[in-house]
Structure 1
Amino acid sequence: MANQTDYKKVLSSSPRITKVSFFGRVGAVIRQHFQQIFSSFTELWKTPFATLMTILVLGVALSLPSVFHVLYKNAERVSAQWDSASEISLFLKKDISEPRVQVLINKLSMYDDIDSVTYISRHQALEEFKEMSGFSKALNYLDENPLPAVLVVTPAKQAMNTAGSKLLVAKLKREQDIDLVRVDVDWIEKLQAILSLVVDIVIGIAILLLLSVLLIVSNTIRLNILNQRPEIEVMKLVGATNSFIQRPFLYVGAWYGLLGGTIAWFLTFSLVQWLQSGVMDLMGLYQVQFQISLMSFAESAIMIAVATFLGFIASYISVKQYLVRIEPK
């Protein structure tokens, strides 16, 4: 009886194996991941100088594509303003009478792709030319007014682009009382062709710089793996899995990308702010109000997310290439 009592005491004092629930296992895995995320961040700053230099290099490499993107976005805004502000000048025949001019104005006002028509008579055109040229006294000696009447046509919203302007010009040239049609769309097409070429160049440079980010992070992670080779061998000896060992290195790469993307955003913001005053002075010479458009919140978030993803992918490549080769001797 005494032996049975002692046996029951031993059983009650021994540790019991309890079954862990599914949510308990999930919670343990999440806690483990968070611990490795924060420990990998502190691991970066064990060598602060090397880490800082790596982050700055990544920031500069990532900032160049983002600066080009901001410049292109603003150049596109400027070209859109010039494109939409284009007007078409219709030089009328000299022998046209005022009633025929009024008929032509009424006819053009009925066009769906014309917003307004402004009439400048021959006398008004001469007076404006005198004021602008400064040859008013010399022009007074002319026997007759050499300037024709002009109709200034403002295209409707749907025609305020290069293609719409060309279609409208083709229609206006068919009018009998119009002698010459002038619209400055050729330089807009050249500007758009230049912008298209710049986009291709920027895409090429961005791809090269992103590849350099992959190489920098991958090489940095490789050096970290080689420096921690003895620790990795010990961890494998005690039964640690490859996934458990490689996780901190993956998080280190992601931290490099995240911090590099943040530095790139700061450099881009600072550079655009520095250019702001110069652009405003330049636009002031042309009497144009223009404010540089910075990166939006969504664009900034995408840039930092892409940088973080690149860091993660670079570390993954390096880990898969070097970590699996390390085996305890």
Structure 2
Amino acid sequence: MAESGNRRKEPSRGARASKSPLAQQASSYFSHHRKVARDSARRLWQAPVASTMTWTVMGVALALPVALMLLLASLQGVSAGWESSARVTAYLAQDVTLDQAEALRKNVGNDSRVAGVELIDRDTALKEFRASSGLEDALDYLNENPLPHTLLVTPSDGSRTADGIQTLLAVVEGMEGVDQVQVDLGWLQRLNAMTELLERAVWALAILLAAAVVLVIGNTVRLSIENRRDEILVAKLVGGTDAFVRRPFLYTGAWFGLGGGVVAWLLLQVSLWWLSGPVERLAGLYRSDFSLSGLTFDGVLALIIAAMLLGWLGAWVAVKRHLDDIEPGEIAGG
């Protein structure tokens, strides 16, 4: 029975033995990655001045386009609010009676592009003007009311754009009895055009600064490669693969990116805190609810990931370019 028990245990030991090479290989692979990551971080901490300078350069280069994008997003949000609140004002002809104006109001309200129409008759308009203008004595000398009936047309949600309002304006202007149609969207269209131009300029600046970040990291990693030239030669001489030799430098680039992303976020937070007060006071003078918006949690995460990817890319470019020039034959030649 003892022999049968031993025989039953043997297959389980064999199964464990058959799985152990793959498990050991995976464990060794991830263990080496952890070791290399820790070693790369330790090397950066051992050179705090150089690392801080690189992180600062990366942080400034990353924070500038992100800050401009946040400013543009705030401007676009404000212009969208102004666009959505825009109304078309239709001044009717002087000979249009109140009944005709009421019929015209119903006709305009039946349009699917219109959310609502308000009729302000000429008597009500004169009373409001008398109360707000302070010209009561001068208005008493008028023989008749010079103000026309007015329609205030509110566009529907689907028409609350610059193009939609222009279409609605043309439709209302073509109706019989309408003398003049007015909507002040010219400045808003100019603001949108400037915002679109600035948006493209910011993207161009972001691409240029991203390329600059890649070059800065690439140059930093290139210096690190030169400083560890003998170590790389020995690693290649004992059979180290290119991936094995490349791995520490890629982690170095990723750590540089992580630090640069954190510095960029800190710069954005400090700038937002410093500018928010004056911006809110200026917006208050214009009776606007404009305010600067910072990065959300997802935005911060995206910024840090993008910074790490740029750091990794810069390191990969430097390693790809300079690592092939280092060959074990240099030892024999020396």
Q: Who is 2:14 aligned against?
A: none
CA RMSD of aligned residues (A): 1.7
User: Could you list the per-position Cα deviations for residues 13-45 of structure 1 after superposition, in whole angstroms to 9, with x for gaps in the alignment?
Assistant: xxxxx8742122111101111111111101111
The alignment partner of 1:151 has SS state of strand
Q: Who is 1:92 aligned against?
A: 92
Please state if 1:78 is matched with 2:78.
Answer: yes
Q: Who is 2:58 aligned against?
A: 58
User: Could you list the per-position Cα deviations for residues 212-245 of structure 1 after superposition, in whole angstroms to 9, with x for gaps in the alignment?
Assistant: 1011000000111111222222333333333222
The alignment partner of 2:46 has SS state of coil
Aligned counterparts, 1:289-304, within 5 A: 289-304=289-304
Q: Who is 1:35 aligned against?
A: 35
Matched residues in 2 for 1:131 and 1:57: separation?
61
Q: Who is 1:166 aligned against?
A: 166
Query: Structure 1: which 5+ runs fail to align?
Result: 1-17
The alignment partner of 1:141 has SS state of coil
Matched residues in 1 for 2:266 and 2:112: separation?
48
Q: Who is 1:10 aligned against?
A: none
Matched residues in 2 for 1:301 and 1:40: separation?
22
The alignment partner of 2:96 has SS state of coil
The number of aligned residues is: 312
Q: Who is 1:231 aligned against?
A: 231
Q: Who is 2:185 aligned against?
A: 185
Q: Who is 2:10 aligned against?
A: none
The alignment partner of 2:117 has SS state of strand
Q: Who is 1:45 aligned against?
A: 45
Q: Who is 1:322 aligned against?
A: 322
Matched residues in 2 for 1:187 and 1:121: separation?
29
Q: Who is 1:241 aligned against?
A: 241
Matched residues in 2 for 1:124 and 1:177: separation?
19
Q: Who is 1:147 aligned against?
A: 147
The alignment partner of 2:152 has SS state of strand
Q: Who is 2:11 aligned against?
A: none
Please state if 1:216 is matched with 2:220.
Answer: no
Matched residues in 1 for 2:195 and 2:35: separation?
48
Q: Is residue 272–residue 294 contact of structure 2 (8 Å, CA) maintained in 1?
A: yes
Q: Which stretch shifts more, 151-160 or 319-328?
A: 319-328
Please state if 1:307 is matched with 2:276.
Answer: no
Select the structure that is richer in helix: 2
Please state if 1:130 is matched with 2:130.
Answer: yes
Q: Who is 1:15 aligned against?
A: none
Q: Who is 1:198 aligned against?
A: 198
The alignment partner of 1:89 has SS state of strand
Partner letter of residue 30 of structure 2?
I
Q: Which stretch shifts more, 257-266 or 130-139?
A: 130-139
The alignment partner of 1:21 has SS state of helix
Q: Who is 1:110 aligned against?
A: 110
Matched residues in 1 for 2:239 and 2:288: separation?
70
Partner letter of residue 234 of structure 1?
V
Matched residues in 1 for 2:135 and 2:191: separation?
34
Identity %: 37
Partner letter of residue 105 of structure 1?
R
Offset of residue 291 of structure 1: 4.1
Matched residues in 2 for 1:162 and 1:295: separation?
29
Offset of residue 124 of structure 1: 2.1
Query: Structure 2: which 5+ runs fail to align?
Result: 1-16
Partner letter of residue 319 of structure 1?
V
